Structure formats: C-alpha cells, structure tokens
Amino acid sequence: MALSADPDVRPYTYADLESFPDDHLRREIIDGVLMVNRSPVPRHQKAVLNICFHREA
C-alpha cells in the first residue's frame, strides 16, 4: 500500500473499514492509515497455539 502525500486526503474511519468486502484480508486502521495484511494460514495459527500452550505449562 502506498501512502498519499496529498494533504487533502482524509484519514480512514471505522465506517470505511466496514465498507470493505469480506475477502479474507486483515484490515486495521492505525492513526487514520489503512493497514492491509493477509489473514494467517491455519499452520501459523496452530504454531501460535502450541507456543502459548507450552509457555503456560
């Protein structure tokens, strides 16, 4: 994603976030800037859960 140097471009809002399609991309707004990432794959989720489980043991 490229950031605009145009000062007339307004920051993203929660309403903008709700208007995006459900296309399995993870979107978040940080200080008015839209951040877009792929959703984690199941293998990654499983690894995170294993790490958390072993940290608590």
pLDDT for 7 = 65
Domain extents for the chain? Answer: 14-56
pTM (predicted TM-score): 0.56
Q: What is the DSSP string of 1-45?
A: -PPP--TTSPPP-HHHHHHS--SSEEEEEETTEEEEEEPPPHHHH
Tens digit of each residue's pLDDT (9 = 90 or more) over 2-56: 555 566 678 999 999 999 998 989 999 999 999 999 888 899 999 999 999 988 7
Residue whose C-alpha is closest to residue 33's, from 15, 11, 6: 11
| Residue carrying the six token digits 């489980």 | 53
- Going from the C-alpha of 35 to that of each of 3, 10, 14, 46, the distances in angstroms are 10, 15, 13, 24
